[in-house]
Amino acid sequence: MKEDGNKTKEQLIREMDELRAWKRKQEALEERRKKIDETVQKAFDDLEILTGERTAILQKANEKLMREIQERERVEEALRESETQLRLLSSQLFNAQEKERQRLSKELHDQLGHDLVLLKSRLRAIERKLPREQTTLHGDFDETSRYVEQIIENVRRIAADLSPSILEDLGLFASLRWLVENFSKQHAINVNLDMDDVDHYFSQETRVNLFRVFQETLTNISKHARATSVSIVVKRKKDVVSFHVTDDGRGFNPGRSPVRDPALKGMGLAAMKERVHLSGGTLEVRTRPGKGTSIRFDIPTAIPRGGGK
């Protein structure tokens, strides 16, 4: 540097060079910044595309899910509807069956029963005309008479089983007693009966259902259980009447019952479940081979709480 403060030519050239180098550096920096900007922009674009694609996929999955939910709701609704239809149908079927049984029972009792009584009295009338000394023939007549009496008794029993007029005349309590006594006598099985008088708590339809459920339960015990004793408990609780029938017989494998496997032909248990269901309850069967069988269900009372006795 000169003393007067003016820069020398060399100094100026050096500064110019420095300025040029600085400018190049700036340009290179600017270039890099641009590249970075482009890369960032591309990354943003890619991200946008990716997000768009993801959103589309998610939207599709969502739409599929919605369709599936709607389809499921539709199927559930259809199922509920067909279940209601089925309930209605089984109720109508039971009613029709009950009417048919009533008709058959009446025909058996009034027609066949009546004819048999007539036959018996005719036999007696003919016998009276026989000379006393015809002892063998008298003996034959007596035997035939007893046979006819037995047939009359059987017809009465079948007619009563088909449609127990006692259910209408004396109610559920008396009918169940009658059923149990007959069962105990007929099969020489000891029955322990502990039953509240629950007659007034049920509609006529439910009474018929309950009677039929008991009838099938006892029939099953006599047919399958080989039991020596049976316990029946019928108790009024708060809003329900609880029914419990236990036998000490050979039990069975409930997994193979016709309720689960329609290929097995018995329909008794299935009909029992349906009748209990129609009466507002659920029937539970507890059994194991060799361990007896226990059938339990609660039926809601038709009388509101606080009503009845």
Interface residues with ligand ADP (CB under 6 A)? 220-221, 223-225, 247, 249-252, 257-258, 266-269, 293
155 or 189: whose CB is closer to ligand ADP? 189
56 or 267: whose CB is closer to ligand ADP? 267
Residue 249: name its binding partner from Mg ion, ligand ADP, none (Cβ under 5 to 8 Å by kind). Answer: ligand ADP
Question: 214 and 221 in contact (C-beta within 8 Å)?
Answer: no
Q: To the nearest whole angstrom, how small is the minimum distance from the Cβ of residue 150 to Mg ion?
A: 26
Residue 281: name its binding partner from Mg ion, ligand ADP, none (Cβ under 5 to 8 Å by kind). Answer: none
Question: 166 and 178 in contact (C-beta within 8 Å)?
Answer: yes
171 or 266: whose CB is closer to ligand ADP? 266
155 or 213: whose CB is closer to ligand ADP? 213
Q: To the nearest whole angstrom, how small is the minimum distance from the Cβ of residue 201 to Mg ion?
A: 27
Q: To the nearest whole angstrom, how small is the minimum distance from the Cβ of residue 81 to ligand ADP?
A: 28
Residue 225: name its binding partner from Mg ion, ligand ADP, none (Cβ under 5 to 8 Å by kind). Answer: ligand ADP
Question: 285 and 269 in contact (C-beta within 8 Å)?
Answer: yes
Residue 105: name its binding partner from Mg ion, ligand ADP, none (Cβ under 5 to 8 Å by kind). Answer: none
Q: To the nearest whole angstrom, how small is the minimum distance from the Cβ of residue 171 to ligand ADP?
A: 26
252 or 297: whose CB is closer to ligand ADP? 252
Q: To the nearest whole angstrom, how small is the minimum distance from the Cβ of residue 286 to ligand ADP?
A: 11
113 or 292: whose CB is closer to ligand ADP? 292
Which residues form the interface with Mg ion (CB under 5 A)? 220, 268
Q: To the nearest whole angstrom, how small is the minimum distance from the Cβ of residue 214 to Mg ion?
A: 12
Residue nearest to ligand ADP (CB): 266
